[in-house]
Structure 1
Amino acid sequence: MRICSIITSFTSGGAEMLVCNLAEAFAGTGHDAAVLALSDAAQVGNAAQTEAMMMQRIRQAGARAFSLGQANRNNWIGGTLALRRALRSFRPDVIHAHTARALPLVALAMPGVPVVLTHHNSRLSFPPAAFRFFDPIVDAYVAISDQCAALLKGHVRKPVHRIENAANTRFRAAAARRKSAQDPTILAVGTVSEQKDYPTLAQAAHLAVRALAAQGRTARFSIAGGGPMLDQLKAGIADAPVALLGVRDDVDTLMRQADLFVNCSLWEGFPIALIEAAMSGLPIVATQVAGNREMVVPGVNGELVPPSDPATLAQAIVGIVSDDDRYAALSQGALRTARRFSIENCAAAHLALYDQLRPRGRRHRRMSGAAIRDIPA
């Protein structure tokens, strides 16, 4: 099967990491997979280094990765022509858009194959009325969480398929952790944005560092992630005991070195970083918002706290790293939870959906014409 996945750009966000993981899995099972970005990373304020790393990973797995290089999202003619050339070359059996921005271009390109859309958040970044435009283009929707499914079902008339996120196998730990280090490292991972609410983490870090200092311990807080708001965050938390690591391509190593994972988001879809943390055997403290609630079970693999509540967040962090028995139990629980979110199961569910849609696609008008050019491999 030829599968074309479309993203906005190659960056370290959860949706983009999932697409990268899936492309590797598809290629590993003999399918011809391609990941197409609408824009170069630098054109939308993302790190070119991350883009290069992700494209290399995809290509090394035997899939294809390329960008249309669209600097202006309103350049419908140029974008449509670029997409049409790419699709004529690759000739996909199914197109899976992981950004709603791709749908107008897909509609104008008229590929004649089934189209799937995944909405990766529990909130909309566009008016709900836009779904009236999406429905004639999209054959099926994918929801990554119960909240996302409920959101979609309230607005769309096409089938909604619930497929859970998954993480790369390189995060899998061989065994659970016994206790946190004497000087624990608390890690957060994710694009620097309003959604992630890192200022609350910075406030909690002050409180947790003081509490652990009273035990003779030195806590270290780190945030791995970049984005256009990184400089703003640096200025806003300059006096906080938090290291801003920027974009990293060794998050699996950072998680192996960490003692606890924190997510303090104001809203979520279903964070892949939580799955990566659980696979790494890390106890998790996360805010009690949609997506997080479906992953973190209090007393089993971590704790949930109210959003925008630094005192409660700090208390939960200190409580876990200060109790060896509780810490060990939560680490074991994290590994058990992670087994449910394998990339193998996630890829199989996507392939089953694509296969289900293909008979419909054969009745569609397929794109005609010889290949314009080879897509870079």
Structure 2
Amino acid sequence: MTATKRRVLIIQEAMGGCGRHVVDLVEGLDPERFDVTVMYGTSRIDDYYRKALPAMAGHARLIPCDDLVRPISPAHELRALRAVMRVIREFRPEVVHCHSSKAGVIGRLAVLLCGRHSGVRRVFYTPHAYSFQAPEFGGRKRVVFVGLERWMSRHATTLTFNVSAGERDAALAERLDTPAKFEVVYNGVADVPVPSRAEARALLGLDGLGVPADAPVVGVTARLVEQKDPLTAIGVMKRVVEQRPDAHLVMVGDGDLEPAAREAAAGIADHVHFLGYRPDAERVVAAFDVYLLSSLYEGMPYSLVEALRAGVPIAATDTTGNDEVVTPGANGTLFPVGDAEAGAKAVLGLLEHPIPTEQVRRTYRERFTLDRMLETISARYEGVPPTGGERDEEERA
């Protein structure tokens, strides 16, 4: 069997949803079919990925790369490019899979520079939200990012895996490449048992925080950073508390906006609880009555899929990614980005008219299981093209 294994090189930035995706991919790929090496950037590695490294080492060779950094830095980028080329020449992978924009450019360029004798037969790319989708990148920067993505897709990519149909639509709107070069592969999470509501609340220690056992809890498990817009979440909760003074907001996650979020919550401090990063975030989500996500933009947020798995209805901003997880009326409600008033209305509606747990879970099982994600990516690694049925399903998405 060893001789038939396909050598796969994964190149990535190790943080957030991108990091989680690769951890699940590496641990889930069949070791009888794939020989995996992971080259990962260390500059923004988060706690989740750092703690996953020992287990990942049992499934793949791990190569840290200090020069895969987010800021534009020619010196770092040149060193990273050389490092990737060196790994390609030594490992001679049949498949190269790049994750995130920076790794996507460097990894694909390295394959081109190594030439046709490198052994690489297929190059895949998962952007996890294109850089040009971010609101902070406009004007000339956006034009440059679009141009880079277009050139790389047309000259150095076998297939792009988009984590949402909205992300794929953004690629097609910018004419990055032909529709056949993109396939939607939703982030999946394992269908494992989750704690009961009471068990999850005990894990969070809500009694010790002064949250009554019967109090409605609105929760979020996301980084407190600009993309997730936690200040709007605080604004939503201020309006919720005006009508439901028994309600509480639990924020699981850390980030550079935590001080600003705490300041914004000063007027309702008894109702807002900052619990920081927790490695069990995907389990404690079961403690919530409503999951709240106020993102400015997304690729395909794992946190929402975890909420569905736990049977927790969602109030989320109507943006790319979120709008493919949330089906209004079936598992939650969408509201406009930055609109705290509409967000509060969405949360209050879900508290007053709860959606049955099993109905919410059904939407997870239909589209967002880890097995589904692994089966699709494994088939592409082995050269199996998307079938007509899979293309039809993408169009429905």
TM-score normalised by the chain length of structure 2: 0.76
Q: Deviations over 1:263-306 (max 9, x none)?
A: 11222222121111101111111122222221111121112222
Which of 122, 127, 142 is the aligned partner of 1:119?
A: 127
- 8 A Cα contact 2:20 2:48, kept in partner: no
Secondary structure in 2 matching 1:195: helix
Q: Deviations over 1:200-239 (max 9, x none)?
A: 11011122233222xxx3x221222334444444445454
Tell me which moved more, 244-253 or 94-103: 244-253
Task: Map 1:182-331 onto structure 2 (within 5 A).
Answer: 182-213=214-245, 217=246, 219-240=247-268, 241-323=271-353, 326-327=354-355, 329=356, 331=357
Q: Deviations over 1:1-33 (max 9, x none)?
A: 22222222x22x122211211111114665223
Distance change >3 Å, CA 286–CA 58, structure 1 → 2: same
Aligned to 2:48: 50
Q: Deviations over 1:143-162 (max 9, x none)?
A: 12221111222322251112
Task: Map 1:51-90 onto structure 2 (within 5 A).
Answer: 51-60=49-58, 62-70=59-67, 73-75=73-75, 76-90=77-91
- 8 A Cα contact 1:168 1:276, kept in partner: no
Using the TM superposition, give the Cα deviation of residue 94 of structure 1 relative to its aligned residue in structure 2, in angstroms. Answer: 0.9
Letter of the 1:115 counterpart:
V
The 1-side partners of 2:264 and 2:63 are apart by 36
Using the TM superposition, give the Cα deviation of residue 260 of structure 1 relative to its aligned residue in structure 2, in angstroms. Answer: 2.0
Distance change >3 Å, CA 91–CA 301, structure 1 → 2: same
The 2-side partners of 1:316 and 1:156 are apart by 36
Letter of the 1:3 counterpart:
V
The 2-side partners of 1:22 and 1:116 are apart by 14
- 8 A Cα contact 2:7 2:34, kept in partner: yes
- 8 A Cα contact 2:196 2:287, kept in partner: no
- 8 A Cα contact 2:228 2:295, kept in partner: yes
Q: Deviations over 1:168-213 (max 9, x none)?
A: 344x448899xx9611222112232222121111011122233222
Secondary structure in 2 matching 1:270: coil
Secondary structure in 1 matching 2:227: coil
The 2-side partners of 1:174 and 1:248 are apart by 15
Q: Deviations over 1:41-77 (max 9, x none)?
A: xx34x54x334212134235x2343321117642233
Q: Deviations over 1:103-137 (max 9, x none)?
A: 44331453541211122227255432223431212
Matched, 1:32 2:25: no
Using the TM superposition, give the Cα deviation of residue 252 of structure 1 relative to its aligned residue in structure 2, in angstroms. Answer: 2.2
Using the TM superposition, give the Cα deviation of residue 89 of structure 1 relative to its aligned residue in structure 2, in angstroms. Answer: 4.2
Letter of the 1:166 counterpart:
G
The 2-side partners of 1:243 and 1:118 are apart by 35
- 8 A Cα contact 2:234 2:264, kept in partner: no
State the percentage of identical aligned residues: 24
Distance change >3 Å, CA 50–CA 239, structure 1 → 2: farther
Letter of the 1:285 counterpart:
A
Aligned to 1:129: 147
Tell me which moved more, 275-284 or 288-297: 288-297
Bigger proportion of residues as helix = 2
Structure 1 portions without partners, runs of 5+: 359-377
TM-score normalised by the chain length of structure 1: 0.80
Q: Deviations over 1:319-367 (max 9, x none)?
A: 32334xx34x2x2221100112111111111112222279xxxxxxxxx
The 1-side partners of 2:123 and 2:384 are apart by 9
Q: Relative CO higher for 1 or 2, CA cutoff 8 Å, sep ≥ 6?
A: 1
Distance change >3 Å, CA 174–CA 77, structure 1 → 2: closer
Matched, 1:93 2:90: no
Cα RMSD (Å): 2.8
The 2-side partners of 1:299 and 1:149 are apart by 25
Structure 2 portions without partners, runs of 5+: 1-5, 202-212, 386-397
Distance change >3 Å, CA 343–CA 129, structure 1 → 2: same
Letter of the 2:187 counterpart:
N
Matched, 1:338 2:346: no
Tell me which moved more, 90-99 or 227-236: 227-236
Distance change >3 Å, CA 174–CA 231, structure 1 → 2: closer
The 1-side partners of 2:105 and 2:148 are apart by 11
Which of 9, 17, 20 is the aligned partner of 1:4?
A: 9
